[in-house]
Amino acid sequence: AGLAGAGWLYLRREKEQRLRQRRLRDLRALALGQGDFQLQDTSGAPRSRSDLLGRWVLLYFGFTHCPDVCPEELEKLCRAVELLEGVPGLPPVQPLFITVDPARDDAAALGRYLRDFHPRLQGLTGTAEQVRAAAGAFRVYVSAGDPDPDGDYVVDHSVLTFLLGPDGLVRDCYGRSRTAEELARSVRRHMESYEPLPP
């Protein structure tokens, strides 16, 4: 019975690994996040995709004037990071926010907005073309609405949080329905089973 149980566990582990590898190949085939980007952080320093290599990253695209969805998603992302920080032995996760509204979200505005969420949360902005290229690399939909009489407007965009592995590849993405606890559990599973995907 013990031998049969061990065999079953081995087969189950092999099947899970094959499914993970297939999902990663599918993500790579989609080319999500594989294009480079050139943006600036809140101190004005240039940042590119290569700066993220070697780290686990939870990335969210949004904008500082968002009335509810973006703050909720950032709070959830940062809570997941805090949960992971409480697990001994796990590598740190870099929380990252890229604006989809560079006209209003310059480096100073991003810095003021993000400091209330998590001490390590980084923000990136740039020109309209640079931000469009970064969003396009992750296939994030972005569309600014018409301004109201006060000049205010809402930016419609995909509500997704991306997990990037140390190899820079998108390892998973999470929709709005996922909780911070579910994000943390998923990230931990990815860390524990991490193998760089062959080129």
Tell whether 70 is in a known binding site.
yes
Say which residue, 190 or 35, is predicted with more confidence.
190
For residue 89 the two structure tokens come to 């032995």
Give the model's pLDDT for residue 57. Answer: 96
- Tell me the Cα Rg of the chain: 18
Give the model's pLDDT for residue 80. Answer: 96
Q: Predicted confidence band at 109 (pLDDT cuts at 50, 70, 90)?
A: very high
pLDDT tens digits, one per residue of 23-69: 666 666 655 556 678 999 999 999 998 898 999 999 999 999 988 89
Predicted structure pTM score: 0.82
Helices vs strands, H then E, count in the chain: 5, 9
Tell whether 78 is in a known binding site.
no
pLDDT at 191 over 90: yes
At residue 46, φ and ψ (nearest 5 deg) are: -70, 140
Residue 166 is which amino acid?
P
- Calculate ∠ Cα 64-153-96, nearest 5°: 25
Residues 6+ apart with CB under 8 A from 161: 58, 59, 60, 73, 76, 77, 173, 174, 178, 183
CATH code matching the domain that covers 31-192, chosen among 2.60.40.1080, 3.40.50.300, 3.30.420.40, 3.40.30.10? 3.40.30.10
Nearest of 9, 70, 24, 2 to residue 164 by alpha carbon:
24
Residues 6+ apart with CB under 8 A from 107: 40, 41, 42, 43, 44, 123, 125
Tell whether 66 is in a known binding site.
yes
Question: Which of 6-10, 27-31, 137-141, 167-171 has the weakest average pLDDT?
Answer: 27-31
Q: Whole-angstrom Cα distance, residue 148 to residue 75?
A: 28
At residue 124, φ and ψ (nearest 5 deg) are: -125, 140
Residues 6+ apart with CB under 8 A from 121: 74, 78, 95, 96, 97, 114
